[in-house]
Amino acid sequence: MKNTSHKIILGCAATFLAASVSVSQAEDYVGFTLNPQIGYYVFDKKRNLDNDSFAGLGLGYQFDSPWAAELNYLTGDADVHNGSTEIDFDQIRLDALYHFGDQQGVQPYIAGGIGDLNIQTKGADDTDSTLLNLGGGVKFYLTNGLSLRADARTFVGLDDETKDFAVTLGLNYLLGKKPASTTKAIAAPAAAPAPVGDADRDGVLDTRDRCPNTPAGTPVDANGCTLDSDGDGVADNKDACPNTSAGAKVDAKGCYIMLTETKEIRLAINFPTNSADIADSYNSEIARVADFMREYPQTQVVVEGHTDDRGAASYNQNLSEKRAKAVADKLISDFGIPASKVSSVGKGEMSPVESNDTVDGRFANRRVVGVISATVETIAK
């Protein structure tokens, strides 16, 4: 009787596969599923049964999400271990499946559920065991609606504390059911005909389209989502500044948000008494100012020369001018700053910064100073 059942189920599977060849590929991934299958059942040692093959059939529903529900029926026969008695077994269970990735190529899934195992032994009462199952498998898509399916499950008996195991191989066929949104979009009037199964006319089939409502003609990626080539959060078709750098803040048009700020650098050089010679130790100070002026080419500098109050005022005025000119000349000749951007002026002894009554104070007053500032725009981060 069980062998006859196997033949009937396998015959249905073969007929179903042959019929599927002439059926057009399912365009959608929502609908009822049919899963004829064969497998091998490994019984817990407590059952004292030899492992054996079985046949089965599953009927399910694939939701518009990674989830699916499935009702499975398995039937087979086996022998009592080290005996001649043959038993028949039937299993019925309700499972939930969670799929990973797109429904194309290779798609893994995990599954679990609850069911019942019924064992019939000649000359004895039937035994039933409530089972929880957990496992998973892989679907290998042959067409959009037809896949080869491999599955492995562990069954835990709640009544008899057993653990069975089964592997199955079968076909999984989706009986297509188009979502209502797809049907309405295709029926709506359009300027150009839409490809079959491409409701938003973006060139990506609805079965793969993760952004199903992009405007017609909008450039999209392989998932049907609007392109954002520079990664600034503004779609290419709305991006007025398409090459902004990563991490920069942009406005609604995809252009930089600019911040205005003032940058400043100060020059400070001191001199020996009665001298306009610049010590080598100040070269880095002058180089720093030159670098700033090259970075901000709109800047200009006025170099101011100063002295202490020792000596005649006229002498000090002349000395302060020489000191300022020495620094200005060095910026121009040694560091390549255009002469048009550099000027010098002597202030004599009239603007001390320290008291001239001490040695340190007089040294501080024998100086050349300059303040260079620039107003710049920076990109907000």
Structural domains in the chain plus CATH codes: 2-176 (2.40.160.20), 260-379 (3.30.1330.60)
- Tell me whether strands 258-270 and 127-141 are parallel, antiparallel or unpaired: unpaired
Enter the DSSP assignment of 330.
Answer: H
Residue 4 has pLDDT above 90, yes or no: no
Q: Of 366, 339, 337, give the one whose Cα is nearest residue 351.
A: 366
Q: What is the pLDDT of residues 285-329, one digit of tens each?
A: 999 999 988 888 888 899 999 999 999 999 999 999 999 999 999
Say what the pLDDT of residue 196 is: 62
Cα–Cα distance for residue pair 155/152, rounded to 1 Å:
10
Three-state SS across 200-220? CCCCCCCCCCCCCCCCCCCCE
Say what the pLDDT of residue 313 is: 94
Q: What is the pLDDT of residues 53-74, one digit of tens each?
A: 999 999 999 998 899 999 999 9
Encoded tokens for 219: 């450039």
CA angle, 160 then 165 then 166, to 5°: 135
Say what the pLDDT of residue 336 is: 94
**pTM confidence score:** 0.43
Cα–Cα distance for residue pair 37/149, rounded to 1 Å:
9
Q: What is the pLDDT of residues 266-279, one digit of tens each?
A: 999 999 999 999 99
* 331: three-class secondary structure by DSSP: helix
Give the pLDDT band of residue 117 (cuts 50, 70, 90). very high
Q: What is the pLDDT of residues 200-214, one digit of tens each?
A: 777 788 888 888 888
Residue 280 has pLDDT above 80, yes or no: yes
Say what the pLDDT of residue 20 is: 40
Say what the pLDDT of residue 374 is: 82
Q: Mean pLDDT, the chain, as a whole number?
A: 84
Say what the pLDDT of residue 190 is: 44
